[in-house]
Amino acid sequence: MPGKRNAISGQFSARLIEMLESHAYRVLSVSAHRVLSRIEVELGHHAGTDNGKLPVTYEQFEEYGIDRHAIAPAIRELVALGFIEVTERGCAGNSEFRRPNKFRLTYRACKGDRGDGSHEWRRAKTEREATAIAKAARQEQAENRSPVGKNSRRRCGKPPLMEAIPGGENPHYCPSGENPHVLYISGHSPTLGASRGASAA
């Protein structure tokens, strides 16, 4: 319509104002913001479909301006605060066997689920709680987390809040002959533990 003032001329990615004002969003690190934006870009490259099956490699995150050593902590932070789910963990190795992580944005619709997303980011009720969750996730080391499941593939829309991927310089590592495990953040604050319990209910 001629004269329409709110028209956007190109492809765009929408975020709820409620989310932008949330405690969880406001405590995100710069690296986490960039990781989140790059996953949104990937959703756009898939024409807004395939949420939950969005592959983004570490090379693509680096090309987007994220230091390689900051990628894993940023992903853990986003998972812990409820903005993304790692639906399928990737594996490193020869190009023949290498595969990237696959992601789901919790605030966008996902095929097979009702509504516009699961919105786990709403669970942090105070800035203090959100800060504690983010800090614990960024500092978490791979050796401090214990596998509690047999496979990280999950149905869209039902992730535990604390689900995360291995950290360190090789977060795509997948032991030969083993299935990827669902890993949870440990060494957390009491507030963080309460969030995990609520998500498991």
Whether residue 128 has pLDDT greater than 90: yes
Which pLDDT score is estimated for 114? 80
Average the pLDDT over 145-154 and give the result. 41
Question: Which residue type occupies 180?
Answer: P
- pLDDT above 50: residue 163: no
123 pLDDT tier (thresholds 50, 70, 90): very high
Q: How far apart (Å, rounded) are the C-alpha atoms in residues 49 and 1?
A: 27
Torsion angles phi and psi, residue 75, rounded to 5: -65, -45
The DSSP element (H or E) to which 102 belongs, if any, is strand 101-105
Q: What is the mean pLDDT of residues 159-179?
A: 39
pLDDT at site 170: 40
Q: What is the mean pLDDT of residues 21-34?
A: 98
Q: How far apart are CA 132 and CA 81, in angstroms?
A: 10
Q: Name the residue with higher pLDDT: 174 or 111.
A: 111
Reported as a pLDDT band with limits 50, 70 and 90, residue 173 is very low
pTM summary value: 0.70
More confident residue, 187 or 142: 142
> Exposure of 173 by Cβ count < 10 A (0-12 exposed, 13-18 middle, 19+ buried)?
middle
The one-letter amino acid code at 164 reads A
* Per-residue model confidence (pLDDT) at position 3: 58
Can you say whether residue 117 is alpha, beta or left, with left for phi > 0 and alpha for psi between -120 and 50 degrees? left
**Whole-number mean pLDDT of the chain?**
77
pLDDT value of position 189: 42
